[in-house]
A and B are shown apart, each in its own frame.
Chain A
């Protein structure tokens, strides 16, 4: 069925992507990221960024409120665990639907404006959701404590199928396979691969072309007979569904939902991931999400003790100075490192990490000195 509709290049990309994701635990072991908890985060935030990129990368509409959909997905998934079943499949389906419905509502209103006004509207809606989750919606969200499972949850479907979790707090399981550790990662990985495939289809389709046209010149598109708003709204809803799914998966691997997941910093993070990796590229957002989660993990784990060891070759005075300066950038302050990294990327590689990859591959492809006429000169790579 796919053989005649998918190009060879895309098929190769898909195969390589699938292999790389499934072999993630082995590939990422040398850099210290080969353990399931972090790999799960890579996959989940990869999905979140993939979806965000369908909106931002294709249509150019910059949403600052996508964490709201992530949060809605998480709450929906935890409620599904509580009321229906600990099986992750109903949870992620309902989380995706909830993300889609909520984004349809917010998108419908926010898309009446474009540019900065659109961004501010989405930001306002997300902050509103965050504050509601803490205040009036406490019966649904359990406020500051966060929504948790209890032993007395009804779990109607599990009861109907005769599953009894006894006196312990259950974890989500797929027909007996607990969604923790590697099984949890592989469940998320399969979702990531499916999401990547869907997003690839969208990119290559006439619909994807229309979304690019929305970004390029909305005026011309209108005078070309296209009603641009439903296109933008559809992209918004698709990205909301991706976010809902990501939120659901967060709850699958750790059945707890808190309002902080909806805070604006979380919305900003997915913007950073997408831009860092390369907005508008297929692979970029996944790479960006991986990079940010990796650095968060590495740098936030550093403490003064470790730094002291690193700088132990220096004389004592310098050692203390080096530690006190560098400690600003690690542990709690790892955001400083992230900020610096982000600035370097945006200044030297405006197209994100994917632009770096393209430049490198062009460099290698040009090995034989038969430079094509009119080729763009390559700027010297930044250190």
Chain B
């Protein structure tokens, strides 16, 4: 059964056709990679899933519910979390607070005045946040200010912020860019364990090592259209894909 269903989505920026009749069916509990040369419309497509952009035409439904017209916080509350291409974190706050905030958002909903009882620094919420930081290997830096982290660490922090929410659908926009090789491999392992929990994942990635070690299915996007969709093994041998990459500006 497909969890995320994208039908005939079009998006135009002035004269540029960023998304040209995109159709995608992403099965529940699978890891689906979207690859393609720079400027193919991958991030634009993700933006249409989370309410950052509204497609001109077409539909995006998640578990039968239309995501179009919903505010970003409403989309998150139905279980969709995203890691951004440029890490979006709370730079002035400590790592542990960065992870506790999404956790509170999941527990208390979009708005709740919870202004009297202090945050318990050794309570269950803090413990949960700490175990998420352990999962991404940042527990030693829990009390540091997030803005001072390296780019790779910011990404892992952002991943922890998404995971603490127990998302049903996790959107990852280049989750390993800017990471050292060892960290990339750790992140792949982490994503594999998340996938085993049954979380549906959509991954945009340029690093083919990451794509082929994670994805069960790959869609190739070029100039706003899906030119191929298949298993990793078949995508490797697809002449259209090779042309899009070799003929494009990517190499």
A212 to B82, CA, bound (A): 21
Contact indicator A216/B71 (Cβ below 8 Å): no
Interface residues of B in 86-100 (CB under 8 A from A): 88-93, 97, 100
Contacts of A234 in B (CB 8 A): 113
A256 interfacial contact with B, CB 8 Å? no
Contact indicator A205/B110 (Cβ below 8 Å): no
A234 to B90, CA, bound (A): 21
Least distance between A8 CB and chain B CB atoms (Å): 12
A7 interfacial contact with B, CB 8 Å? yes
Contacts of B10 in A (CB 8 A): none
Given contact pairs A209-B97, A227-B73, A215 touches B108 in the complex (Cβ within 8 A): no
Contacts of A230 in B (CB 8 A): 111
Q: B114-122, B183-191, B208-216: which one contacts chain A?
A: B114-122
Contact indicator B118/A216 (Cβ below 8 Å): no
Contact indicator A204/B93 (Cβ below 8 Å): no
A215 to B112, CA, bound (A): 18
Contacts of A228 in B (CB 8 A): 73
B77 interfacial contact with A, CB 8 Å? yes
Contacts of A23 in B (CB 8 A): none
Picked from B93, B113, B161, the residue with its CB within 8 Å of the CB of A224 is B161
In the complex, what residue of chain A is closest to B110 when comparing beta carbons?
Answer: A227
Interface residues of A in 195-254 (CB under 8 A from B): 201-202, 204-210, 212-213, 215-217, 219-228, 230-231, 234
B102 interfacial contact with A, CB 8 Å? yes
Least distance between A281 CB and chain B CB atoms (Å): 14
A227 to B72, CA, bound (A): 9
Contact indicator B114/A224 (Cβ below 8 Å): no
A6 interfacial contact with B, CB 8 Å? yes
Contact indicator B116/A205 (Cβ below 8 Å): yes
Least distance between A65 CB and chain B CB atoms (Å): 23
A5 interfacial contact with B, CB 8 Å? yes
A209 to B165, CA, bound (A): 17
Contact indicator A217/B89 (Cβ below 8 Å): yes
Picked from A201, A205, A219, A224, the residue with its CB within 8 Å of the CB of B101 is A224
Contact indicator B50/A206 (Cβ below 8 Å): no
Contact indicator A216/B115 (Cβ below 8 Å): no
Contacts of A207 in B (CB 8 A): 112-115
Least distance between A152 CB and chain B CB atoms (Å): 44
Least distance between B74 CB and chain A CB atoms (Å): 8
Contact indicator A225/B102 (Cβ below 8 Å): yes
Contact indicator A7/B118 (Cβ below 8 Å): yes
A231 to B105, CA, bound (A): 12
Contacts of A222 in B (CB 8 A): 71-73, 76
A204 to B111, CA, bound (A): 17
Interface residues of A in 258-276 (CB under 8 A from B): none
Least distance between A205 CB and chain B CB atoms (Å): 5
B106 interfacial contact with A, CB 8 Å? yes
In the complex, what residue of chain B is closest to A227 when comparing beta carbons?
Answer: B110
Least distance between B166 CB and chain A CB atoms (Å): 12
A201 to B114, CA, bound (A): 10
Given contact pairs A209-B97, A210-B104, A212-B92, A227 touches B82 in the complex (Cβ within 8 A): no
In the complex, what residue of chain B is closest to A222 when comparing beta carbons?
Answer: B72
A246 to B228, CA, bound (A): 67
Contact indicator A221/B101 (Cβ below 8 Å): yes
In the complex, what residue of chain B is closest to A10 when comparing beta carbons?
Answer: B118
A7 to B77, CA, bound (A): 32
Contacts of A201 in B (CB 8 A): 115-116, 118
Contact indicator B118/A217 (Cβ below 8 Å): no
Contacts of B97 in A (CB 8 A): 209, 212
In the complex, what residue of chain A is closest to B83 when comparing beta carbons?
Answer: A223
Contact indicator B88/A205 (Cβ below 8 Å): no
A329 to B209, CA, bound (A): 69
Task: Provide the B52-72 mask, 1 if CB < 8 A to any CB of A, else 0.
Answer: 100000000000000000011
A204 to B161, CA, bound (A): 21
In the complex, what residue of chain B is closest to A238 when comparing beta carbons?
Answer: B115
A148 to B204, CA, bound (A): 69
Least distance between A226 CB and chain B CB atoms (Å): 5
Contact indicator A205/B76 (Cβ below 8 Å): no
A201 to B119, CA, bound (A): 10
Least distance between B54 CB and chain A CB atoms (Å): 15
A210 to B116, CA, bound (A): 13
Picked from B73, B88, B100, B118, the residue with its CB within 8 Å of the CB of A225 is B73
Given contact pairs A223-B72, A225-B76, A230-B111, A209 touches B118 in the complex (Cβ within 8 A): no
Contact indicator B90/A220 (Cβ below 8 Å): yes
In the complex, what residue of chain B is closest to A54 when comparing beta carbons?
Answer: B115
Contact indicator A220/B89 (Cβ below 8 Å): yes
Picked from A204, A215, A220, the residue with its CB within 8 Å of the CB of B118 is A204
* Besides A207-B114, A210-B101, 9 other A-B contacts (C-beta < 8 A): A205-B119, A206-B114, A207-B113, A212-B92, A217-B88, A224-B81, A225-B109, A226-B111, A234-B113
List 15 A-B residue pairs with CB atoms under 8 Å apart, sorted by A's residue number: A205-B116, A205-B119, A207-B115, A212-B90, A213-B93, A213-B101, A215-B92, A216-B91, A220-B88, A222-B71, A223-B81, A224-B101, A224-B105, A225-B102, A231-B111
What residues make up the interface of B, taking CB atoms closer than 8 Å to A?
50, 52, 71-73, 76-77, 81-82, 84, 88-93, 97, 100-102, 104-106, 108-119, 161, 165
